[in-house]
Amino acid sequence: MKAETSEAPLVIAAPDTLKAVERWRRHLGGERRLAVKTVEAYSRDVGQFLAFLTPHLGGPPRLADLADLATTDVRAFMAARRNQNAGSRTLARGLAGIRSFIGFLEKEDRAKSAPFRAIRAPRQARTLPKPLAPEAALRAVSVEESLDEEPWIAARNAARGIRVSTDERERLRIGAGVGTIGLVRALAAELAEPLAVLVVLHAPREGDGARLQSPEVARADVERFLDRFGELFEDDARAALWIGETEKAGLVVLDEHDLIYAYGPLHRFEQVLRERGFRNGDPIVPEPHEHRSSPQFDADERELRAWWSWHVEALPRDEQLGGARGPG
């Protein structure tokens, strides 16, 4: 059986840039082990960007030209794509591919990714929920009936937190109910800079499972990251999120069950919970349960993989497909 390979699209650029594109494509398909279709999509996005730069810069872009790009150049490209009727989802995916390429060049000390990280991807419109029939709507808001039929629902949705002792240290185990990312933000605000972000892709839809470790970042960088990807972590089960101090022991983890684990300044964390009306109690994860991921967030995953110059490690098979529990 012939192995599936990706075909490189025609790219207009200077010879040194073309060689860099080919090295990057081999990196994506080899070391990163991304799906063939993802490599092809990223390649098209970078090809569009380089095609834009040719008239924008007055000639096929060289690596030296890419190193000198500013945020205004990236904005000009986004505006040009908008004028070509590219939608928000297409623009977000395109920016993810370009960030991946520039991040690759940055590791070779041939470009700077800061102008690209400064651009916030366009917000994607949320689709409206499908309306319920009158009988189903009444059933959905019937508290008595829902509690009778599914006793765990109220416990799952209630805002609860409990202090737990482990073999190594104490932690908080928290079920936010609703507004999970908002609570993660509030808890992470109690951590001391510099910070680092770890994303654990248990059940990715693009490429293999992986741990993505960020470089040291400031609190403002974490805020921008949550602005962009908060919905992915809150509404999709493909990934877990870790935000930690690099010089101390403080750590906030959001796992694939929407449970939050907090380590470090527990008294300050508990004050945050009290201010938000949390009650003492152990949040419940129903058994059995499913981990679901939606194609709606596939473009977000691609952009996330290119957001920083991550240190990437393959995830062992026994930790994939949402099988991992909360941190020990």
Q: What is the pLDDT of residues 46-103, one digit of tens each?
A: 999 999 999 999 999 999 999 999 999 999 999 999 898 888 778 887 888 898 899 8
Provide the pLDDT for residue 119: 77
Q: Tell me which DSSP letter residue 31 carries.
A: T
Which residue has tokens 């490429």? 207
Distance CA 212, CA 314 (A): 9
Provide the pLDDT for residue 128: 54
Provide the pLDDT for residue 161: 72
In 3D space, the residue among 89, 227, 163 whose CA is nearest the CA of residue 81 turns out to be 89
Provide the pLDDT for residue 88: 79
**Region of residue 117 (left: phi > 0; alpha: psi -120 to 50; beta: else):** alpha
Tally helices (H) and strands (E) across the chain.
Answer: 13, 9
pLDDT of 250 strictly over 90: yes
Q: Tell me which DSSP letter residue 247 carries.
A: S
Per DSSP bridges, beta strands 259-263 and 195-201 are unpaired
pLDDT of 147 strictly over 60: no
Q: What stretches of the chain adopt beta strand conformation (E)?
A: 160-165, 170-175, 195-201, 210-213, 239-245, 251-254, 259-263, 279-280, 311-314
Distance CA 108, CA 17 (A): 13
Distance CA 175, CA 183 (A): 10
**Helix residue spans in 88-168 (DSSP H):** 88-107, 114-117, 134-140, 143-149, 152-157
Per DSSP bridges, beta strands 251-254 and 259-263 are antiparallel
Q: Tell me which DSSP letter residue 217 carries.
A: B
Distance CA 53, CA 90 (A): 19
Partner residues linked to 220 by β-bridges: none
Q: What is the pLDDT of residues 151-205, one digit of tens each?
A: 444 444 455 677 776 656 789 999 876 678 888 999 999 999 999 999 999 888 8
- Please report, for the chain, the start and end positions of each structural domain, with discontinuous segments joined by +: 15-117, 147-319
Global pTM value: 0.56
The confidence band for 317, taking pLDDT boundaries of 50, 70 and 90, is: confident
Provide the pLDDT for residue 199: 96
Average confidence score pLDDT of the chain: 79
Contact 9, 47 (CB under 8 A): yes
Higher pLDDT, 127 or 215: 215
Q: What is the pLDDT of residues 30-52, one digit of tens each?
A: 766 667 777 888 889 999 999 99
Provide the pLDDT for residue 155: 42
pLDDT of 231 strictly over 60: yes
Phi and psi torsions of 233, nearest 5°:
-70, -30
pLDDT of 321 strictly over 70: no
Per DSSP bridges, beta strands 210-213 and 311-314 are antiparallel
CATH architecture of 15-117: Orthogonal Bundle (1.10)
Contact 75, 122 (CB under 8 A): no
Higher pLDDT, 258 or 3: 258
Distance CA 221, CA 196 (A): 10
Q: Is the dihedral of CA 212, 67, 35, 236 positive or negative?
A: positive
Contact 82, 88 (CB under 8 A): no
Provide the pLDDT for residue 90: 81
The confidence band for 127, taking pLDDT boundaries of 50, 70 and 90, is: low
